[in-house]
Amino acid sequence: MASHYLFEYIHPFYDGNGRVGRFIIAKLLSDYYDNYTALTFSYVINRNKSKYYKAFMIASNHLNCGDLTEFIDTMLELLIAGQERILDELIPKMDATEKLTLYLTSHYKQIDYEFLYLLSMDKLFGNKRNRLTLIDLENILGVGRVKINNTIKKYDNYLVKIKSRPTIYEISDEFLNSIIK
């Protein structure tokens, strides 16, 4: 965190451009911790810009005599807030994954389990702009379109078609909630 301050102090961002410094700190966090830590730190800084900039102003004050304690403390608070945020999102999804796995393995044959599991994981963890298509499902499951179409017909009441070209289905909220509750 001290290196982040020093970089920004040497290369000030008076014009509001601190992207290079934030990129460097994100890269360091990614290398020493993980990508989620780096991403959540960037997200939290973006949501707490005034606190972030205030930490720089306090550290840069000539009366502060170069003491970076408060700056580092603020940056670590932001880092922890980001990590807590990701945990708050991931823990319920991990619990849901465990319940889904137990339920699906005990109620469905292998190919049906894999199909429903993939669509469930896509719904829980996927990005709404980048979902699994039928072609993706064919490739992942190693089956043809006929098998995929038959599986879709078999579980039509559990699925919602969300796009036609390319064709994308997702697990219905009702089905998902009935298992994870």
Predicted pLDDT of residue 14? 61
Q: What is the pLDDT along the chain (181 residues), one digit of tens a residue?
A: 777 766 776 666 665 556 777 788 888 888 988 888 888 888 888 888 889 889 888 888 888 887 888 989 998 999 999 889 888 988 999 999 999 999 999 999 999 999 999 999 999 988 888 899 999 999 999 999 999 999 999 999 999 999 999 999 999 999 999 998 8
Query: How far is Cα 9 from Cα 37, in angstroms, rounded to an integer?
Result: 24
- Flag whether 131 is marked binding: no
Predicted pLDDT of residue 98? 95
- Flag whether 52 is marked binding: yes
Angle between helices 49-60 and 35-47 in degrees, nearest 10: 90
- Flag whether 17 is marked binding: yes
Q: What is the pTM of this model?
A: 0.70
Which domains are delineated in the chain?
A: 2-87 (no CATH), 108-180 (1.10.10.10)
Cβ 59 vs Cβ 68: under 8 Å: yes
- Flag whether 173 is marked binding: no
- Flag whether 144 is marked binding: no
As annotated, the active-site residues are: 11
- Flag whether 46 is marked binding: no
Query: pLDDT tens digit string along 157-167?
Result: 999 999 999 99
Find how far residue 159's CA is from the centre of its chain. Answer: 24
- Element at 173 (helix H, strand E): helix 173-180
For the CA atoms of 20, 68, 49, 124, the dihedral, rounded to the nearest 10 degrees, stands at: 80
Helix intervals (H) in 11-109: 19-32, 35-47, 49-60, 69-107
Specify the DSSP class assigned to residue 62. G
Predicted pLDDT of residue 67? 84
